[in-house]
Structure formats: structure tokens, C-alpha cells
Amino acid sequence: MGAHKRPSKLSRAGAASALTLAAVGATVLAPGGAAEAEASTVSTQALRIAASKQGSPYQWGATGPHRFDCSGLTLYSFKGAGKSLPRTAAQQYNSTRHIPRSARERGDLVFFVSGRGIYHVGIYNGDGRIWHAPKTGAVVRLERIWTSSVLYGRVG
């Protein structure tokens, strides 16, 4: 066949597998990247759990499974993904690895700041939107981040 060899079945399968992984959004592990990949998988799972609670009513102090406040939703979502978080938004901020806006990824926590305090938390969905339980009378929903006074945290 000379210089025009056909790819083997194995190399074609490898390319197909890579395309399949890309299509379904799977994480490809690089040597030494296991910790980040695990965190990413946990965050993605927590994000899915939060999204599955769309329409659940807000209730102050509620941690699920049918009613939530903001930090109750994040606590419930990450607990379902195998990670524990403290109860309040401020405590959750203090327990995460703080990251810059430029490094935020789907599944990271978004903390809303007023003065020197954290008053709200949601889970970043991408495109400037979060899943959150906003306030009394509202339901868990996907919403655009409405202020630049936010901080980001990654659950380890």
C-alpha cells in the first residue's frame, strides 16, 4: 500500500471513541489530571441535580428534596454528587477554592456579595446563568446573573 496506508480498525475506533467522548461531553483524563477531572465530574453531577429541581418552591431554611432556599439547593445538589457542603452561603464560600471569573466552569458556585457579606449562592450553568432558589414566592430556576458583585468557588 505504500504511503497511502489505510488506518487500522483500532485507530479508526480510537478516533470514533474520541468523537463520541466529545459529543457527549465526557471528560478525558490526562496524566496527573485526576483530581481536577473528579471535581469536574462532581460539579457536573451537582449541576444536573440542581436543574432536576426546576420548579421546586423556595422556602427559607429548606434543604430539599421538594423545597429549597439558595444554599439548601447547593447543599442538596452537591450532597447528591457525593460532596458535603456547610449549610449557609457564607460558610459554603469559605469551604470552596476561590477562583477568578475567567476560570469559572459549569458547576462552580456563584456567590453574591453585598458590602462585605455573602447573601446568595447558585450553581453556574454557563453563558452567565445560574440555577438557584431565588426568594420567597419563587421557584428553583435558571436565571442570568444580574450583578457583577459576585465571587466564584469550586467544590473540591
Annotated catalytic sites, by residue?
Answer: 70, 120, 132
Residues facing 99 on adjacent strands: 152
Integer-rounded Cα radius of gyration of the chain: 19
Rounded CA gap, 77 and 56, in Å? 13
Helix or strand holding residue 94 (H, E): helix 89-95
Q: Where are the beta strands (DSSP E) in the chain?
A: 97-99, 109-114, 117-126, 129-132, 141-144, 150-154
3-state secondary structure of 68: strand
Identify which of 51, 64, 119 has the alpha carbon closest to the alpha carbon of residue 88.
119
